[in-house]
Structure 1
Amino acid sequence: MTDAPARPARTRRVRAFITRSIDDAQLARPALALTSLVVLCLMILGGSLLPVPYVIERPGPAIDVLGEYEEEEILVIDGAETHQTDGALMMTTVSVDGGPGYRVTPVEVVAAWFDSSKMVLPKEVVFPEEQTREQTTLANTAAMSSSQQGAVAVALDELGIEYRDVVMVAGVQADGAAEGTLEGGDVIVSVTGETAGDVKGFQRLIEAAPDGEPIPMTVRRDGQELTLEVPTALVDGTPRMGVMLAPGHEFPMDVQISVGSIGGPSAGMIFSLSVYDQLTPGALTGGRSIAGTGTIAADGAVGPIGGIRQKMVGAEETGAEYFLAPSKNCGDVVGHVPDELDVVAVSTFEEALTATETIADTGSIEDLPTCEDVTTP
């Protein structure tokens, strides 16, 4: 009889255990949910900060070539009569987020997709996979140097001023073997005592030099000939100096164009107009603010460039009233012209010059070709 109460006692204990378990589970659910939310947020945040294989092009500054940049006069011509001018001839630029050594995140890319002033591109379109940031910078520097040389030549051709064709050092790679020995703008006179008539000829002479040994070179710098021993370094098993050679010119006057670290060839047309402006009486722009873009070829042809929509936005934001656009870019221009900008389509230096003079005289583009005219069947 003394064992009879045991069953109710065990039952009560089992029920109490089950109740406590249910209570504990109910208390755990909010904690588990909160923990899961925190983990999810951290995963989303981490994913949003991971680099992605894209670059973002956005409007860069429009820079008056007739003025100053980074407290330095951009265009300086010595050894020839120059003339006071007025107004502005603006080169336009694009800033690039991303590429080797830099990164953009998914959040930035998504935001750029919804911003009409920006362009999202695969990274390899702007920075080839096999190319380092230093190599890209060297290529852009060389392109800018060659563009400036070609631009001066086109302006002098228009004015009937003669000059001499040469091969020059268009750029020296930072930390490259030749840094501190060769300089951008050096004119190549000879390599290992021999001369050549073009870039490929000098490249063959350089490649024939003994591996690992300094290469004897004679260059002309600031009117003086210098005999140099140019060091090399092995890059992927091949001796390299870390320079880029390009066709260039020696002019009867000294023309210096300084735009800091900005690279690329797309300011050629504006450089040509600016040199022409300084070498001729009066203000070519008539005191107006004219921006533009486009490469310039030896025959004066104006070539297409990238990022023209961003460049138009940058020009308007800087105060340009008019914009000279390469005709071959007109497909990207139509429908994207900022409200306060008048755009003229040009395909040659002669057309760019005529457009500038017409704007100066009339303050209008009424009689000039627009991109709508060029793209209309």
Structure 2
Amino acid sequence: MSDPTGTPAPTPARGRGLHGLASRAVEDAQLARPVTALVSLALLCLMIVGGSLMPVPYVIEQPGPAIDVLGEYREQEIVVIDGVETYPTDGALMMTTVSVDGGPGYTVTPVDVLVSWFDRSRAVLPRELMFPPDQTREQTTLNNSVQMSTSQQGAVAVALDELDIDYEPVVMIAGVQAGAPAEGHLEPGDVLVGIDGQTATDVAGYQALVQGAEDGGTLPITVRRDGQETDLQVPTEVVDGTSRLGVVLAAGYEFPMDVKIAVGDIGGPSAGMIFSLSVYDELTPGALTGGHAIAGTGTIAADGTVGPIGGIRQKMVGAREADAGFFLAPRENCDQVIGYEPEGLEVVAVGSFDEALTATETIAATGGTDGLPTCEEQ
């Protein structure tokens, strides 16, 4: 039957309702699939991004700056010697450094680690190999500062030994902990003269004098600072039942001249050998390097032994990037040197200050390393 107007008759209501519901159900199902997929993809992306930004327990070593200790660092002359005749020099003696990401108070991400694994100039190491698990950023800074100051003292002593110049052993303030009672009273480099009217001959003796102080009281301490004796009243605190100042004491030296070595906030002991060479250079006529750019690394012991350090591959890269042509490497690091020498950098293996001095003088005289020991020969 047709409508009188000629319009087709409508579908019965029951059939129309069932058909509509079915159509909408199909359409909703078809729409739900891409929406679910998009939501799932977004969640996956968030998980990937979040995971890539999560800190991981690794540190990354990469090349730091190579600094000519015969020159300036941050507009400050690095080695300054007063009270004795010094001589002009030429060329460069470069201390080399490593930048470490991921130490206490800092983090690296999986992306950082992945990128570094494919970069030969970087090294990825478990954090526990370099830092105790409970060490804080402040403790790391203090340790690095103490190591730098004591290595500088030792470096000067070794250079003066080579020149037969006498000096006196002392006990010095090697570092002051942030927030400690002594902060603002004692300074790194202060030489201890006496505590509460008593003196000692070594670190253990002065530590005993501090520990014997009245709990939480103030100690009268005399120090020698910049050549002048100064009397101070220094507060203490009690930690685990023992009085303390919050300083690090170390064996040091008083020299017959004033030697200052300034390298900003760079820490650690690995520039000892280069510092010794630079002090020797400034106290002797002529340019020790012969005008060449010589870089190097290595701790220095009281007897002149050059000790191994970390990050030597990164230090060689930094040296070459600073246009050094020669590199003095501790003999005990040779297994980490072989196969990683940057092109254009001649590496000499040394085990003592005398060997480092001989190598530097040979390079100055010949412009090369012929006859000098290499890591391949060790």
Tell me which residue corresponds to 1:266: 270
Q: Measure the CA separation in 1 of the matches of 2:171 and 2:223.
A: 10
- Equivalent residue number for residue 301 of structure 2: 297
Q: Does 1:252 align with 2:276?
A: no
Q: 3-state SS of the aligned residue for 2:201?
A: coil
What's the CA shift string for 1:242-264, capped at 9, x where partnerless? 21111100000000000000011
Distance in 2 between residues matched to 1:107 and 1:159, nearest whole Å: 52
Decide whether the 8 Å contact of 2:213 with 2:243 is kept in 1. no
What's the CA shift for 1:126? 2.5
Tell me how far 1:105 sits from its aligned partner. 1.1
- Give 1:369 deviation, angstroms: 0.4
Provide the residue aligned with 1:20 in structure 2: 24
The reply to whether residue 285 of structure 1 matches residue 289 of structure 2 is yes
CA offsets 1:10-40 (integer angstroms, 9 cap, x no match): 4553343222211111011111111111111
The 3 A distance-change label for structure 1 pair 237 and 34 is farther
The 1-side partners of 2:252 and 2:158 are apart by 12
Q: 1:371 aligned to 2:375?
A: yes
Q: What is aligned with 2:3?
A: none
Q: Of the candidates 51, 76, 79, which is equivalent to residue 75 of structure 1?
A: 79
**Corresponding position of 1:5:** none
- Whether the 8 Å contact between 2:296 and 2:329 is mirrored in structure 1 is yes
Distance 2:239 2:24 in 1: 72
Cα distance per residue 1:103-136 (max 9 Å; x no partner) = 1111111111111111112222222122211111
1:162-201 matched pairs, under 5 angstroms: 162-201=166-205
1: CA distance, partners of 2:350 / 2:230: 42
Residue type of the alignment partner of 1:157: D
Instruction: For residues 219-240 of structure 1, give each alpha carbon's deviation from its aligned partner in whole angstroms, at most 9, with x where no partner exists.
Output: 1111211121112235566543
Bigger shift: residues 12-21 or 217-226 = 12-21
Moved more, 343-352 or 164-173: 164-173
The residue type equivalent to 1:354 in the other structure is T
Give matches, 1:1-377, under 5 Å.
Answer: 10=14, 13-235=17-239, 238-374=242-378
Identity within the alignment, %: 69
Deviation at 1:201, TM superposition (A): 1.3
CA distance in 2, matches of 1:239, 1:17: 84
Deviation at 1:99, TM superposition (A): 2.0
Output the aligned Cα RMSD. 1.5
Letter in 2 for 1:48: S
Give the unaligned 5+ runs of structure 2.
Answer: 1-11
Q: What runs of 5+ residues in structure 1 fail to find an aligned partner?
A: 1-7
Q: 1: CA distance between counterparts of 2:266 and 2:126?
A: 22
The 1:141–1:22 alpha-carbon spacing in structure 2 relative to 1, beyond 3 Å, is: same
Which shows bigger deviation, 114-123 or 320-329?
Answer: 114-123
Q: What residue identity is the alignment partner of 2:109? A: T
SS in 2 for 1:266: coil
Cα distance change of structure 1 residues 234 and 120 upon mapping to structure 2, 3 Å threshold: farther
Helix, strand or coil at the partner of 1:146: helix
Q: Distance in 1 between matches of 2:106 and 2:376?
A: 38
**Greater radius of gyration (CA):** 2
Q: TM-score, normalised by structure 2?
A: 0.94
Which amino acid in the other structure matches residue 319 of structure 1?
D
Letter in 2 for 1:339: E
SS for the counterpart of 2:39 is helix
- Say if 2:87 and 2:283, in contact at 8 Å, map to a contact too: yes
1:60 maps to a residue whose letter is G
* Equivalences, count: 368
SS of the aligned residue for 1:335 comes to: coil
The whole-number CA distance in structure 1 between the counterparts of 2:233 and 2:152 is 28
Aligned-partner SS, 1:37: helix
